[in-house]
Amino acid sequence: MWSASERANVGLILISQVAWGCNAFEFDTQRCRRPHMIHFPGYKIQDLLKILELSIPAKEDVRLYNQFLQTFIGPMFARCSSRIEDLQRVTQQLYPEYSRPVREGRIQAGQSQQLYTAFKDKATAARAAFESGLHNQLVLTDAVTSRGTSAVQEHVLDFELPFASKFLLLAAYVCSRNKPALDRRLFDPSSRAGRRRGAMASDKQAESAAEAKLRGPHSFPLERLMATYWELRYAQGDTCPNAEEHRDAQSADVFLQISSLVSLRFLSQAEGELDEPKYACNVSDELAERIAKNVRVSLKDFVFYV
């Protein structure tokens, strides 16, 4: 038997793909000590392309595939999203269209300029869908086939934002309008299920909404913002827990986008404790509605005044 001093020290690290702010932990861990969070740096564009190179379809020309990644995926799509899942989906959908002239014998694989000219309009149409955040609802090859953006224009904003940033702005808007005491209605689906508003409840809701408008939006902590962010993502069709989507909450990418929104003045830092930063939302009601329509979320289902 080893003595206590001779035994090796063993550390245990639990790796979760579910964000701590997810509602899966909301009511079961209130008395638990908050875990130490480690955020890993995001991939650079060349790192993403190297990962995508490993996903080359069987019997495909390696040189042609890498040429497609370097010409279109890196410059056009990797600058819009650093999520490898998004880029893999785009690559799988667009590469067959890019390589079609080669398979049909109309263009040689080494004629990169001709391939670029033949595909650039289709890539531009697909990028419009990708930038607007519709790559989760639309098949990008539909945009490529139509070679236009008419199917996308009704959802596109007059400014460009990453898909996650749109949900962060909506989450900030909800946090700034809802009282913290009403978060249970948002985070606990059972408290929302089967709710019916009568005439008196509707009148009270309208009265409270008017009072809230006079008081103006209030600030909120970062943890509340992230929890609301995930709740809105679930409303868009994500389920909890989802390893693919929750990995984003643990990455530096989402927090980098929060910093970008602050620099763009969509958000502003408010006074708060040093270990718990607070933010204020500068998004108007009209802009919030436009963003919600863009990502197909019913905003009225998440703003409660009473």
Over residues 96-142, the pLDDT tens digits come to 999 999 999 999 988 999 999 999 888 888 887 676 554 443 444 45
Burial 138-157 (b: 16+ CB within 10 A, else e): bebeebbeeeebeebeebbe
Longest CA span, the chain: 76
Whether residues 173 and 286 fall in one domain: yes
The pLDDT score that the predictor gives to residue 279 is 92
Whether residues 248 and 272 fall in one domain: yes
Whether residues 102 and 184 fall in one domain: no
Contact predicate 29/16, CB 8 Å: no
Whether residues 151 and 168 fall in one domain: no
Say if 28 falls within a structural domain: no
How far is 127 from 47, CA to CA, in rounded Å?
A: 21
Mean pLDDT lowest for which of 48-62, 94-108, 170-184? Answer: 170-184
How far is 32 from 283, CA to CA, in rounded Å?
A: 34
Say if 30 falls within a structural domain: no
Say if 105 falls within a structural domain: yes
Whether residues 177 and 109 fall in one domain: no
Closest by alpha carbon to 160, among 129, 124, 123, 126?
129
Whether residues 291 and 221 fall in one domain: yes
Length of the chain: 306
Whether residues 149 and 174 fall in one domain: no
Whether residues 248 and 148 fall in one domain: no
> How many domains does the chain contain in total?
2
How far is 16 from 34, CA to CA, in rounded Å?
A: 14
When pLDDT is averaged across residues 234-242 and rounded to a whole number, the result is: 58
Whether residues 140 and 167 fall in one domain: no
Say if 212 falls within a structural domain: yes
How far is 8 from 153, CA to CA, in rounded Å?
A: 62
Say if 13 falls within a structural domain: no
Say if 286 falls within a structural domain: yes
Whether residues 243 and 143 fall in one domain: no
| Per-residue pLDDT band at 150 (split at 50, 70, 90) | very low
Say if 81 falls within a structural domain: yes
DSSP string computed for 30-91? TTSPPPPP--BPPPPHHHHHHHHHTTPPTT--HHHHHHHIIIIIIIIITTT---HHHHHHHH
Say if 251 falls within a structural domain: yes
Whether residues 60 and 116 fall in one domain: yes
pLDDT at 243 over 50: no
pTM, two decimals, is 0.48
User: Mean pLDDT for the chain?
Assistant: 74
Whether residues 174 and 278 fall in one domain: yes
- Domain residues for the domain of 150 are 45-155
| Per-residue pLDDT band at 286 (split at 50, 70, 90) | confident
How far is 14 from 139, CA to CA, in rounded Å?
A: 36
pLDDT at 205 over 60: no
The pLDDT score that the predictor gives to residue 65 is 94
